[in-house]
Chains A and B, each alone.
Chain A
Amino acid sequence: MESPDRWIHTPPRMSATFDAFSIAEIRRAAATGIYDIRGFGAKRKLPHFDDLLFLGASVSRYSLEGYRERCGTDVIIGARFAKKPITLRIPITIAGMSFGSLSAPAKEALGRGATAMGTSTTTGDGGMTPEEREHSHILVYQVLPSRYGMNPDDLRKADAIEVVIGQGAKPGGGGMLLGHKISRRVAEMRTLPEGIDQRSACRHPDWTGPDDLEIKLIELREIIDWEKPIYVKIGASRPYYDVALAVKAGADAVVLDGMQGGTAATQEVFIEHVGIPTLAAIPPAVQALQDLGMHRKVQLIVSGGVRSGADVAKCLALGADAVSIGTAALVAIGDNDPRYDDDYRKLGSMAGAYDDWHEGRDPAGITTQDRALARRLDPVAAGRKLANYLAVLTLETQTIARACGKSHVHNLEPEDLVALTIEAAAMGRVPLAGTNWIPGVNGGL
């Protein structure tokens, strides 16, 4: 007689390597023959600001009274060369996002929210709309490789100019806007046929390399009579050298976008596998500025995965002058709102996970050019939400700064930080909590 145990099966065991997502992606690729395109930023678990902690004041440090003693938050950007540097009331700006990738009400909401809090918003790969200019008190105008909608009038209307070399979601890649979102107005602004899958260039058309960039910046400065600040935006890959070259080229400010930075549409493989985390990018960038004697003279604006005032404070403590938010700003105005969960599920997603921003079917009316969907977003109410969110980020940043005894958020410093993991300690160049060990800096490991 056979033993009954002979037929007991081991439980189903999923592979850690070929996990559910990997298997689904292989099947999707086999069925379609094309790579996956999506919006949002990197979704994989990465060393991030959550892996850092502030020490706060105690016997050896004196804290500030939370409600009575001032903790400044203002930032001046562009005093290196510009006749008219810009002053931001808070160290949090709105990142570049195009009309085209976003609906007109969404762009208006970003402008309204930023303006209410005395900070800037930024155009994107598609030019400047009159509505955007009207609702943004401080507007940064991007000069991108595509030069869609580029013209000297808008250049002069802008309060600052941002020459975009790369973005964190895809360092080395160009923009992408699929046909569903190339509406008549978007097509006209970009001088493209309506409804095509638009592929932007990844390199600028009229300059190559850092020496050319220096000359390009001079041309732009001459056109605007040296009045406005010029930023250079880079995707985080080799931040030490890229920041140094941007400074050498004459940038007033450097925008450093880590791999968690969002995108309207990019290949999944690009988002998840190219570039380095924001945390790992900041210390080399600050080091480059310090080595050149330009820290605090050329402002460093960091973006990519900033969600809370704690994240803002950590960026500033590591040496940034300001941060920029994109994905978080969209969430604040209603992206991935649970009240649209049924709609998201009809699209094969769910509230909180929706990232098919490239398809133009956003139930929240934000990442779409569909007029009916766009009407779902009230730009006044959404602008108010963004202002609320920015206010909370600022208050949280001040709370931490005061706890560390700082009368200005810029007085936060690496000495205020420790890391929870060895990886974060090495990347952030701060000690592992409870030790004085900074891997790769002291102790040689």
Chain B
Amino acid sequence: MRTVDLSQTSLRELNAELHRLQRTTNETHWRIVNPRGQHAIGVGIDAPIVVEIEGHVGYYCAGMNKEATIVLNGNAGPGVAENMMSGRVHVKGDASQGAGATGCGGLLIVDGNASARCGISMKGIDIVVKGSVGHLSAFMAQAGNLVVLGDAGDALGDSIYEACLFVQGNVASLGADCVEKPLEGRHKIDLARLLEAAGLNGTVDPASFRRYGSARKLYHFHIDNLGSY
């Protein structure tokens, strides 16, 4: 395992080294210590490696990740795993706003809470938040799944497209064009898969969630929907 001390090594050196890794690299396990809240740690990785970060990070940790498994033993600043393409990012603490923003694939797990706009404009990423999410989460969410074991703040799923939202706790309010939908068998299967991937296999009942998605009334401009715009 390779250990990088960010109090000794610059962020630029670290990211450049991570970018040089090929898919066939033998350096498959990295440990980063003393992140000290720095921004953009581990962004743009494109290799099937494991990166463990010991401490809190600033903005955009694991941004645009491909293939890598990134475990954060701390809290994450805004935009953790933004635009992730594939791989897995696991925040053991809390995440600030915009967690998983515009993510296209992969799995983001937040053990604690995620702040406002979690999953904003998500495009295929799966997000499992074991705590609660803040307001305007899944705003304009296009594709993928957002699973929340706690509560959701105001305007959940505002202007949502085809993403699926599952909330076990209370939803303060739904945003424009977001409605509750029946939780059917296939949704429970999807949920069980996501919960298992998040390490919650058998501990949480998929049937205890409520499902939300698009009413599809704002997909076309129409005068009757004026009040919703």
List the interface of chain A (C-beta within 8 A of B).
Answer: 32-34, 146-147, 150-152, 155, 178-179, 190-193, 196-197, 199, 201, 205-207, 212, 215-216, 218-219, 222-226
Contacts and interface: CB of A to CB of B under 8 A. Distances in A.
Contact of A222 (B40, B66, B120): B40
Contact of A215 (B60, B143, B221): B60
B123 to A, nearest CB: 4
A222 B12 contact: yes
Contact of A191 (B43, B79, B123): B123
A196 B40 contact: no
B223 A222 contact: no
Contacts of B111: none
B52 interface: no
B78 A222 contact: no
Contact of A151 (B64, B101, B162, B220): B64
Contacts of A190: 142
Taking each of A179, A197, A215, A224, which has the highest tally of chain B beta carbons within 10 Å of its own beta carbon?
A: A215
B58 A215 contact: yes
Contacts of A193: 161-162, 219
A19 B63 CA distance: 53
A6 to B, nearest CB: 49
Contact of B85 (A146, A151, A199, A215): A151
Contacts of A222: 11-12, 15, 40, 43-44
B85 A201 contact: no
A9 B46 CA distance: 81
A147 B123 contact: yes
B43 to A, nearest CB: 5
B213 interface: no
B168 interface: no
Interface in B156-179: 159, 161-162
B48 interface: no
Interface residues of B, number: 42
A270 to B, nearest CB: 14
Contacts of B123: 147, 191
Contacts of B159: 199
B16 A219 contact: no
Contacts, number: 105
B65 to A, nearest CB: 9
B16 A225 contact: yes
Main secondary structure of the interface of A (DSSP, over half): loop
Contacts of A216: 59-60
A205 B40 contact: no
A223 B44 contact: yes
Nearest to B15: A222
A192 B161 contact: yes
B221 A206 contact: no
A147 B59 CA distance: 18
B43 A33 contact: no
A201 B159 CA distance: 10
A173 B196 CA distance: 41
A219 B221 contact: no
B126 interface: no
B130 interface: no
Contacts of B60: 206, 215-216, 219
A223 B63 contact: yes
Given A147-B102, A206-B79, A212-B59, A196 B121 contact: no
A206 B39 contact: no
Interface in B33-86: 39-40, 43-44, 46, 58-60, 63-64, 66, 78-79, 82-83, 85
Closest 8 A/B residue pairs (Cβ): A223-B44, A33-B223, A206-B79, A152-B64, A147-B102, A219-B40, A196-B219, A219-B60
Contacts of A205: 82, 98, 101-102, 117, 120-121, 139-140
Contacts of B63: 219, 223
B59 A215 contact: yes
B82 A206 contact: yes
A193 B140 CA distance: 13
Contacts of A146: 121
A193 B163 CA distance: 11
9 contacts: A33-B226, A147-B102, A152-B44, A191-B104, A212-B59, A218-B40, A219-B43, A219-B60, A222-B15
A155 B85 CA distance: 13
A112 B46 CA distance: 31
Taking each of A197, A199, A218, A219, which has the highest tally of chain B beta carbons within 10 Å of its own beta carbon?
A: A219
